[in-house]
């Protein structure tokens, strides 16, 4: 006998879409973990960004600082995430990478990559110090500059910089250990296993490649890779 009932009625949500609320400054109740995403698979930055948008959607102050993503001939300077972050209240970003890629024959100088990584790490230390001076148990106005404190700090590709000795693993550990307890810290990057982080991070995820279109000659695509 045909069933003319809406198929979604059999789902746990009964076909009802939860109503979105306006975003107002709020304070997280359980932040303070260290998360790391590494591996040879695609999706490390994507996972961190997803978490950042989720946190910002609850009214928490989020900032992303990118290492080693200064641009290349295969991607546009303005990545899709920059436009999305700019439209999201309470979420900001900055890019400290140098054009090209370290140790690649792409016309860029390794010394320039090293200088950019050092500058990026010094900026990171400033942001962590600012978080120490901020009451992270309280809401932070969404338009507050990152140097005045954030609830979540995403350090995209920092683990790549450490893997290539542009930043020392010891400095990464010191940074993690020096953060204020309520600050949620998210680290991404590196195809090499960051075993040095195991005793200092609460979550370590290996994003493993099973198959990747780059192996068939596919270049980075607008809207999926940048």
pTM: 0.87
The verdict on residue 153 lying in a domain is: yes
Closest to 117 in 3D by CA, of 76, 165, 186, 62: 165
Give the angle 141-143-149 at the CA atoms, nearest 5°: 65
CATH of the domain at 115: 3.40.50.300
The verdict on residue 170 lying in a domain is: yes
The verdict on residue 202 lying in a domain is: no
Beta bridge pairs of residue 184: 152
Rounded to the nearest angstrom, the gap between the alpha carbon of residue 115 and the centroid of all alpha carbons in its chain is 21
The verdict on residue 221 lying in a domain is: no
The pLDDT value given to residue 1: 42
The verdict on residue 19 lying in a domain is: no
The verdict on residue 18 lying in a domain is: no
pLDDT confidence band for 23 (50 / 70 / 90): very high
The verdict on residue 31 lying in a domain is: yes
Q: DSSP per residue over the chain, as a string?
A: ----S-GGGGSTTTTPPPPP--------SS---EEEEESSSS-HHHHHHHHHHHHHHTT--EEEEESS-S--TTS-SS-HHHHHHHTSTTEEEEE-PPSS-TTSSSS--HHHHHHHHHHHHHHHHHHHHHHHTS-TTS---TT--GGG--SEEEEETHHHHHHTTSS-HHHHHHHHHHS-TT-EEEEE--SS--GGGTTT-SEEEE---S--GGGGTPPP-TTTT-
Structural domain range at position 110: 25-193
Q: What is the pLDDT of residues 189-201, one digit of tens each?
A: 999 999 999 999 9
Number of compact structural domains in the chain: 1
pLDDT confidence band for 7 (50 / 70 / 90): confident
Closest to 226 in 3D by CA, of 88, 105, 70: 70
The verdict on residue 96 lying in a domain is: yes
pLDDT confidence band for 2 (50 / 70 / 90): very low
């Amino acid at each position: 006998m045909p069933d003319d009932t809406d198929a979604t009625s059999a789902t746990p949500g009964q076909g009802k879409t939860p109503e979105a609320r306006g975003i107002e400054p709020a304070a997280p109740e359980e932040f303070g973990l260290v998360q790391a995403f590494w591996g040879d698979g695609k999706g490390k930055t994507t996972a961190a960004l997803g978490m950042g948008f989720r946190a910002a959607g609850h009214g928490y102050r989020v900032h992303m600082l990118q290492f080693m993503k200064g641009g290349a001939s295969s991607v546009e300077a303005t990545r899709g995430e920059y436009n999305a972050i700019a439209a999201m209240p309470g979420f900001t970003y900055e890019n400290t990478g140098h054009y090209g890629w370290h140790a690649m024959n792409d016309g860029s100088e390794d010394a320039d990559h090293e200088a950019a990584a050092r500058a990026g790490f010094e900026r990171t230390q400033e942001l962590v110090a600012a978080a120490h001076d901020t009451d992270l148990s309280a809401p932070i106005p969404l338009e507050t500059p990152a140097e005045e404190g954030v609830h979540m700090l995403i350090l995209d590709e920092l683990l790549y910089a450490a893997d290539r000795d542009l930043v020392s693993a010891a400095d990464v550990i010191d940074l993690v250990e020096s953060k204020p307890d309520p600050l949620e810290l998210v680290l991404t990057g590196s195809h090499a296993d960051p075993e040095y982080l195991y005793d200092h991070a609460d979550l370590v995820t290996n994003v493993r490649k099973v198959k990747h279109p780059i192996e068939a000659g596919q270049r980075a695509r607008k809207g999926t890779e940048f």
